[in-house]
Amino acid sequence: MVYSHISIESFHRSLTFCFLFAAYILLAACGSAIQEQAVPDKVLQNAENKLRIPLDDQTGNFSYGLGYLDGEKSYLFNIQSPRNEIQVYDMDRKELAKTLKFDVEGSQGVGTVFGFHVHSADSIFLFTTHPGSIYLTDIDQSYLSTISFTSPEGYSGPQVRSSFFNSYPIIRGDKILAKVVAPGNIKDTEEKVLSKQVLSIELDMNSGDTELTSHKYPQGYLSDGLRVPYYSMAASPDQVVYSFLADHNLYAASSAGDLLDAIPAKSRFFPETFPTLSRTAERDEVLRYMFTEPRYGLLLYDPYREVFYRFCFPKIEIESEEELEQLRGFAKDFSIMILDRNLQVLGETRFKGYNYVTENVFVAKEGLYISVNHPDNYDNDEDYLSFVLYELADKK
């Protein structure tokens, strides 16, 4: 009888402990769920604050490259390739502060400047038509130095702009990580070839040595048919991220030597699958695929709010060839996804019916600036570079 009494008592204690433990787990789970639900979605909210900068009569209001510098003064940089110069605008005074002019030929010649990257006031990188050379200067043009390099066999030099996909170089210490492009006709590209191609190189600014990264196209990108393999690249302090035209995933790695991890990041305005393009498609069919079918575009990192912005273009219907031609430079409908540093989706803001120029955007300490220099925007004026400011906010 004593042994039975002890056994029953132990059983009761065990049962009580189990109930208490289960209750604790349930409360913890509920608390976690409540906490998750309490985190509001993020949206981009019009700050009703426009930036308008007057232009000279030789400068168009569509930019082929913008840069931003924050310091005692905030500056906006605007490339003018035909004149081989970069205009520097004082954002507070809203006026031209200075112009950086570069010789094409001669002892100080750099070739034609087609892209640039403002790393700091002392380090402005120039990408030019001179093969095997990147030039470095400062905001006062007090020096001009050359970084000489050899491109890896079978690949281009560093690319900062290609086919509407800006990809700013990433500067870490004395290394530049930059996008590269493999030569070849897109229509002839097969899955087994594409999956082996590298997306970027790492360049040592001291030695000029270049190394292909371990970052390659995702497996299966062309397994269901031809999809244009364009991509954008951006980076937070701890990872490099790639976004492809026809892939819901984002691909990230912490270093040039790490393989890419796939992170789901589907736009809620896109179907599950992407259309394919005929390998015999003519010009108009290619343009319709590129500008009327769903596609992902520019990927930007916002260091002030520690989020990524992913531009998305849902499928649209058009009625004329004139509309198609306009879409090559001016989107008709788009959304912007907001993702945290770990690439978790925080929200997505739709801009349907807004006449903005999605190729002319930049991140500043105030928020995200988007150009209104769209031919159908009532606020468009050819004499000004004009932007509307969007702030990151909690969804109400």
Structural domain count, the chain? 1
Say if 211 falls within a structural domain.
no
Which tokens go with 361? 């955007």
pLDDT tens-digit map of 336-374: 999 999 999 999 999 988 899 999 999 999 999 999 999
Of 35-39, 150-154, 242-246, 365-369, the poorest mean pLDDT is in: 35-39
Say if 198 falls within a structural domain.
no
Say if 396 falls within a structural domain.
yes
In contact, 251 and 262? CB cutoff 8 Å: yes
Displacement of CA 303 from its chain's centroid (Å): 13
Residue range(s) defining the domain that contains residue 302: 42-60+265-396
HEC assignment per residue over 261-329: EEECCCCCCCCCCCCCCCCCCCHHHHHHHHHHCCEEEEEEEECCCCEEEEEEECCCCCCCHHHHHHHCC
Torsion of CA 169, 290, 332, 335, to 10 degrees: -50
pLDDT tens-digit map of 133-162: 999 999 999 999 999 998 888 888 888 765
Say if 303 falls within a structural domain.
yes
HSE toward the beta carbon, residue 75, CA cutoff 13 A: 22
In contact, 227 and 218? CB cutoff 8 Å: no
Q: Specify the amino acid at residue 107.
A: S
| Rounded CA separation 395/150 (Å) | 49
The more confidently predicted of residues 163 and 329 is: 329
Displacement of CA 132 from its chain's centroid (Å): 25
Whether 240 shows a pLDDT value over 90: the answer reads: yes
Q: How far is CA 182 from CA 3, 156, 201, 253, 297, in A?
A: 80, 6, 12, 21, 20
| Rounded CA separation 297/327 (Å) | 14
DSSP character string of 90-136? ETTTTEEEEEEE--SSSTT----EEEEEEEETTEEEEEESSTTEEEE
Say if 255 falls within a structural domain.
no
Say if 378 falls within a structural domain.
yes
- Which pLDDT does position 18 carry in this prediction? 43
The mean pLDDT of 86-111, rounded to a whole number, is 96
